[in-house]
With several copies, the nearest count.
Chain A
Amino acid sequence: MTEITKEIVAEHGLSESEYELALEILGRTPNLTELGIFSVMWSEHCSYKSSKKWLKTLPTEAPWVICGPGENAGVIDIGDGQAAIFKMESHNHPSYIEPYQGAATGVGGILRDVFTMGARPIANMNALRFGRPDHPKTRHLVSGVVAGIGGYGNCMGIPTVGGETNFHESYDGNILVNAMTVGLADTDNIFYSAAAGVGNPVVYVGSKTGRDGIHGATMASAEFDDDSEEKRPTVQVGDPFTEKLLLEACLELMATDAIVAIQDMGAAGLTSSSFEMADKGGVGIQLDLDNVPMREEGMTPYEIMLSESQERMLMILKPGREEEARAIFHKWELDFAIIGKVTDTGRMVLTMHGDTVADLPVAPLADSAPEYDRPWVPTERPAPLGADDVAAPADLGATLVQMMGSANIASRKWIWEQYDHMVMGDTIQRPGGDAGVVRIHGTDKALAVTTDCTPRYCYAHPETGGAQAVVETWRNLTATGAKPLAITDCMNFGNPQRPEIMGQFVGCINGMREACVALDYPVVSGNVSLYNETNGTGIFPTPAIGGVGLLEKSEQMMTLAFKGAGETIMVVGETTGEMGQTIYLKEIEGREEGAPPAIDLAKERLNGDFVRSLIHGGDVTACHDIADGGLLVAISEMALAGNVGADLDLGEALPAHVAAFAEDQARYVITVSADNVEAVTEKAKNANVPLQIVGTTGHNEIKVGKSASVSLHDIRSAHTNWLPGLMAAPGSDKE
Chain B
Amino acid sequence: MKARVTISLKNGVLDPQGKAIEHALHGLGFEGVGDVRQGKVIELDLGDISKEDAPATVDKMCTQLLANTVIENYAIELLD
Partner of A735, one of B12, B20, B26, B69: B20
CB nearest neighbor in B for A101: B71
On whether the beta carbons of A235 and B28 are closer than 8 Å, the reply is: no
Q: How many residues in A have their beta carbons less than 8 Å from beta carbons of B? A: 27
Partner of A98, one of B14, B15, B28, B70: B70
Q: Is A624 an interface residue (CB 8 A)?
A: no
Q: Which B1-53 residues sit within 8 Å CB-CB of chain A?
A: 9, 12-16, 19-21, 23-24, 26-29
On whether the beta carbons of A732 and B14 are closer than 8 Å, the reply is: no
List residues of chain A with CB within 8 A of the CB of B69. Answer: 232
Q: Is A241 an interface residue (CB 8 A)?
A: yes
Q: Is B57 an interface residue (CB 8 A)?
A: no
A309 and B15 alpha carbons, distance in the complex (Å): 12
CB nearest neighbor in B for A310: B14
Mark contacts of A294-324 with chain B using CB atoms, 8 A cut-off: 1 yes-contact digit, 0 otherwise.
0110000000000001100000000000000
Partner of B64, one of A211, A237, A242, A733: A733
Least distance between B61 CB and chain A CB atoms (Å): 11
Contact status of A733 and B28, CB under 8 A, knowing A97-B70, A98-B70, A235-B71:
yes
CB nearest neighbor in B for A233: B70
CB nearest neighbor in B for A236: B14
A237 and B68 alpha carbons, distance in the complex (Å): 12
List residues of chain B with CB within 8 A of the CB of A241. Answer: 16, 20
List residues of chain B with CB within 8 A of the CB of A295. Answer: 14
A211 and B70 alpha carbons, distance in the complex (Å): 14
Q: Is A333 an interface residue (CB 8 A)?
A: yes
For A236, A296, A733, the residue with the greatest tally of chain B CB atoms inside 10 Å of its CB is: A733
Q: Which A214-263 residues sit within 8 Å CB-CB of chain B?
A: 232, 235-239, 241-242
Q: Is A425 an interface residue (CB 8 A)?
A: no
On whether the beta carbons of A730 and B26 are closer than 8 Å, the reply is: yes
List residues of chain B with CB within 8 A of the CB of A609. Answer: none
CB nearest neighbor in B for A97: B70
A207 and B69 alpha carbons, distance in the complex (Å): 24
Q: Is A731 an interface residue (CB 8 A)?
A: yes
A238 and B17 alpha carbons, distance in the complex (Å): 11
Q: Is A649 an interface residue (CB 8 A)?
A: no
Q: Is B56 an interface residue (CB 8 A)?
A: no
Q: Is A426 an interface residue (CB 8 A)?
A: no
CB nearest neighbor in B for A212: B14
Least distance between A216 CB and chain B CB atoms (Å): 13
A212 and B19 alpha carbons, distance in the complex (Å): 16
List residues of chain B with CB within 8 A of the CB of A207. Answer: 14
For B14, B27, B28, B70, the residue with the greatest tally of chain A CB atoms inside 10 Å of its CB is: B14
On whether the beta carbons of B24 and A735 are closer than 8 Å, the reply is: yes
On whether the beta carbons of A211 and B12 are closer than 8 Å, the reply is: yes
Q: Is A462 an interface residue (CB 8 A)?
A: no
On whether the beta carbons of A731 and B23 are closer than 8 Å, the reply is: no
List residues of chain B with CB within 8 A of the CB of A237. Answer: 9, 13-16, 71
For A207, A238, A309, A730, the residue with the greatest tally of chain B CB atoms inside 10 Å of its CB is: A730
Q: Is B79 an interface residue (CB 8 A)?
A: no
List residues of chain A with CB within 8 A of the CB of B29. Answer: 731
On whether the beta carbons of A232 and B70 are closer than 8 Å, the reply is: yes
List residues of chain A with CB within 8 A of the CB of B68. Answer: 98, 100, 734
Q: Which A71-129 residues sit within 8 Å CB-CB of chain B?
A: 97-98, 100-101
List residues of chain B with CB within 8 A of the CB of A183. Answer: none
On whether the beta carbons of B14 and A239 are closer than 8 Å, the reply is: yes
CB nearest neighbor in A for B19: A239
Q: Is A210 an interface residue (CB 8 A)?
A: yes
List residues of chain A with CB within 8 A of the CB of B21. Answer: 735
A310 and B29 alpha carbons, distance in the complex (Å): 29
On whether the beta carbons of B28 and A210 are closer than 8 Å, the reply is: no
On whether the beta carbons of A210 and B14 are closer than 8 Å, the reply is: yes
List residues of chain A with CB within 8 A of the CB of B27. Answer: 730-732
Least distance between B36 CB and chain A CB atoms (Å): 12
Mark contacts of A318-352 with chain B using CB atoms, 8 A cut-off: 1 yes-contact digit, 0 otherwise.
00000000000000010000000000000000000
List residues of chain A with CB within 8 A of the CB of B26. Answer: 730
List residues of chain A with CB within 8 A of the CB of B24. Answer: 732, 735
A98 and B68 alpha carbons, distance in the complex (Å): 8
CB nearest neighbor in B for A735: B24
A310 and B28 alpha carbons, distance in the complex (Å): 28
Contact status of A734 and B65, CB under 8 A, knowing A97-B70, A98-B71:
yes
Least distance between B64 CB and chain A CB atoms (Å): 5
Least distance between A623 CB and chain B CB atoms (Å): 41
Contact status of A733 and B12, CB under 8 A, knowing A235-B70, A235-B71, A241-B20:
no
On whether the beta carbons of B13 and A212 are closer than 8 Å, the reply is: yes
Chain B interfacial positions (CB closer than 8 Å to A): 9, 12-16, 19-21, 23-24, 26-29, 64-65, 68-71
Considering the complex of A and B, which 7 residue pairs feature the smallest CB-CB distances, nearest first?
A: A730-B27, A239-B16, A237-B14, A98-B70, A211-B12, A731-B27, A735-B24
Chain A interfacial positions (CB closer than 8 Å to B): 97-98, 100-101, 207, 210-212, 232, 235-239, 241-242, 295-296, 309-310, 333, 730-735
Known contacts A211-B12, A232-B69, A734-B64; 6 additional CB pairs below 8 A are: A98-B68, A210-B12, A235-B70, A241-B20, A731-B28, A733-B65
- 13 CB contacts below 8 A, A to B, read A97-B70, A98-B70, A210-B12, A210-B14, A211-B12, A212-B14, A232-B70, A235-B70, A236-B14, A241-B20, A295-B14, A732-B24, A735-B65
